[in-house]
A and B are shown apart, each in its own frame.
Chain A
Amino acid sequence: MATNKYPTPMLDQLEEGPWPSFITGIKRLRDEHPDQRINDVTASLLGQLEHSYETRKGYWKGGTVSVYGYGGGIIPRFSEVGAAFPESKEFHTLRVQPPAGNHYSTGMLRQLADSWEKWGSGLVTFHGQTGNIMFIGTTTENTQHFFDEINDYGWDLGGAGPCVRTAMSCVGAARCEMSCTNEQKAHRLLVNNFTDDVHRPALPYKFKFKVSGCPNDCQNAVERADFAVIGTWRDDMKVDQEAVKGYLDTKGRQYIIDNVITRCPTNAISLNDDDTIAVNNKDCVRCMHCLNVMPKALKVGDDKGVTILIGGKRTLKIGDLMGTVVVPFKKLETEEDWESIVELAEEIIDFWAENALEHERCGEMIERVGLVNFLEGIEVEVDPNMVSHPRECSYVRMDGWDEEAVKWFDRQAEAS
């Protein structure tokens, strides 16, 4: 039977213009794919999408679909207008975890494409905002077949629902001189320690790990991750004075003054009369700006590690939250270092799982119980790096002051 091609006058307008058109791509599946099933599914999908464009409404509803052994990882989609567009009435998305850093070989991409056109619609996205490869559009039955096939050659589902979600990490050490840690190792160690919590949603709500190799935070960890790992360094940044002269020669003094020296948030960098650069590393907050402008001349230091910020999330339900510094600096070098970051994550997830209200993100829980109670719960000591400034209001009971002061001095003594 010939494919029923629904008219799509509105969508057709999205084929005009220079940017690549997703509509043209879907139509190619409808018109040119050798498998009639794919022609039919994509024709029907276009019909439903056109209907959405006409009525300005969406027509998918959720449901429950999973693969054998797992509780999450599939985003079920059943059509509310399946009678009119029957071939795409089941159109589920599979979330598949990408390799850390999103590296692909063409051989492996082709293998995934072959499996997907066998079992799905032929539509795929690298990547969804949660960081997954999203295989968009298949039936309940084929969800299992597709998963079985790709799981056999090394791919696993990501998270969906109240669980540990797929993690994300920047390209980092693989191709970036700013990198201060092994992003991929942090990413995989953390999320793969929680595979059970990824696949079987049983937490208060979602929990996301994101790793950026430096404070440029290309991965947007601070605003989007419950557990943000961001690379940094604590010794002096490296200055190559010859390369500084190179920049001065090509860009000019004025440019360097206006774009580097005066733009440092803590006035930590200055240009000397002899055209060398001096950095006050005690004042530098590792914002990255001067390194970004002069990557040949200024480089991160050798004593590298990470800052860990907890509790970032978007609007629902109490408004957007950034992550808060919970570990100002942590080395990630020895096996013990790596083990202890995983232990910290376990500690935090356990505390949150026990203390959060239903549907409460980790950051919201911290907001409700207070940072100090959270820190006590996970056995982390307070640190002035955790605040922008100390308390401004005197309405607080402080009869434990003396003991707390002693603890501080003891910790200082121990550290030195």
Chain B
Amino acid sequence: MAKEMREPIETGCPDPFQYMHPMMRRNFGMWDYHEHPRPGVLLHVAKNGDKMWTIKAGTQRILDVFTLRKLCQIADDYSDGFIRFTIRSNPEFFVTEESRVQPLIEKLEGEGFWVGGTQNSVTTLSHTQGWLHCDIPGTDASGVVKSMMDELIDEFREANMPNRVHITTSCCQINCGGQGDIAINVQHTKPPKINHDLVANVCERPSVVARCPVAAIRPAMVNGKPSLEVDEKKCICCGACFPPCPPMQINDAEHTKLSIWVGGNHSNARGKPTFQKLVASGIPNNPPRWPEATAIVKRILKAYKEGAKDWERINEWVERIGWPRFFEEVELPFTKYHIDNWRGARKSLNSSTYIRF
């Protein structure tokens, strides 16, 4: 007998005021200025003189309930029982007396949650689902981030970069990770291998055909059964056909590589927002620690730290020194693949005599 089903209550996005630190509630829209007393700590001062310190820490993003409860316990014991999570999954804790800042930092760091990620630091890499729980990933996400943050921990804790650095990772070319000052993204290098036995059963063929950005997929009969074929000369190995059609096997243990992109910046400060640009590819997808990708990221960060002026984000620094010098400084090859041929590509060509010698 069918059980009576419960109707959902369609409340949508909850009202945050019930979960907001009372000082934020009280001073909503009434903040005056902020300061950076030390890396990982922000001091906000309200118009009425109220002061609130925010302490930001790093976590593994994939939280087990033990870790979540530990964060709650720290918030109960050391701050006022409120937490915010930033879009890069960093928890923020709040205190209203300066004397409570240091004990909270010590407690957090004692428990392994490093404090940092504010101002001109390399904040926590943002990541996606990866092998842990996505259905189309070419690599893991949490593992890449863990491996890289282990090596970038000083940059997270110290805030000694020219400006903030947002690093993102994405485990397929859909790029859930989005734009970043540095982005480490999957790059497929071979067309999908079609599992013809599966196509007939699971695939909605017209929708896959429509999904391909370069019209490389055609319906075809294979062994007397309806299937698909890929024009391998046209195929750009983007993997867009894989989510709607799992038989389009794009992921490959050897040919799925990583690319690194730089200069994505969504802030309007000093210049309009920018998209990231390809700088390196062919990087092995090498679990469990991805050392090759990390090494390149560290070279880029080192050159940026040494060469950029205060407040320059990576895109602005490269804009000033020029791409030839960028490739020289980070010791990366410039290849024909760096020259764009997608729509709008002409805008990316140099139509001037601006050449640095």
Which residues of A are interface residues toward B (Cβ below 8 A)?
10-11, 13-14, 16-23, 25-26, 28-29, 32-33, 45, 49, 52-53, 55-62, 67-70, 75, 77, 91, 93, 97-110, 113, 116-117, 122-131, 136-137, 147-148, 151-152, 154-157, 166-168, 171, 173-177, 179, 182, 184, 187-188, 191-192, 195-196, 198-199, 215-224, 258-259, 263-265, 285-289, 292-293, 295-296, 299, 314-320, 322, 358-359
Contact = CB atoms under 8 A, between A and B. Distances in A.
B6 interface: yes
Given A106-B81, A109-B83, A223-B266, A192 B13 contact: yes
A11 B131 CA distance: 12
21 contacts: A20-B113, A22-B132, A33-B66, A49-B132, A53-B131, A56-B251, A56-B254, A58-B136, A60-B133, A69-B7, A99-B14, A99-B15, A103-B19, A104-B82, A123-B62, A126-B63, A129-B176, A196-B10, A199-B10, A224-B178, A287-B270
Contacts of B32: 177
Nearest to B202: A61
Interface of B: 5-21, 24-25, 27-29, 31-35, 44, 52, 54, 58-69, 71-73, 75-76, 81-87, 89, 91, 112-114, 126, 128-140, 142-143, 146-147, 149-151, 153, 173-179, 207, 210-211, 213, 238, 240, 243, 246, 251, 253-254, 256, 264, 266-271, 273, 275, 285, 287-289, 309-311, 342-344
B45 to A, nearest CB: 8
B266 A222 contact: yes
B134 A60 contact: yes
A358 B31 contact: no
Given A61-B135, A314-B175, A316-B240, A101 B84 contact: yes
B81 A105 contact: yes
A258 B310 CA distance: 9
A219 B273 CA distance: 13
Contacts of B19: 99, 103-105, 108
Given A56-B285, A97-B12, A155-B14, 10 more contacts: A53-B288, A57-B131, A58-B137, A68-B5, A98-B14, A156-B10, A174-B28, A217-B267, A224-B178, A287-B271
B114 A18 contact: yes
B60 A220 contact: no
B284 to A, nearest CB: 10
| Most chain B beta-carbon contacts within 10 A, residue among A14, A100, A187 | A14
A198 B12 contact: yes
B133 A265 contact: no
A259 B316 CA distance: 13
A49 B270 contact: no
Given A191-B13, A287-B270, A319-B343, A56 B287 contact: yes
A112 B45 CA distance: 32
B16 A136 contact: no
Given A25-B67, A265-B271, A102 B84 contact: yes
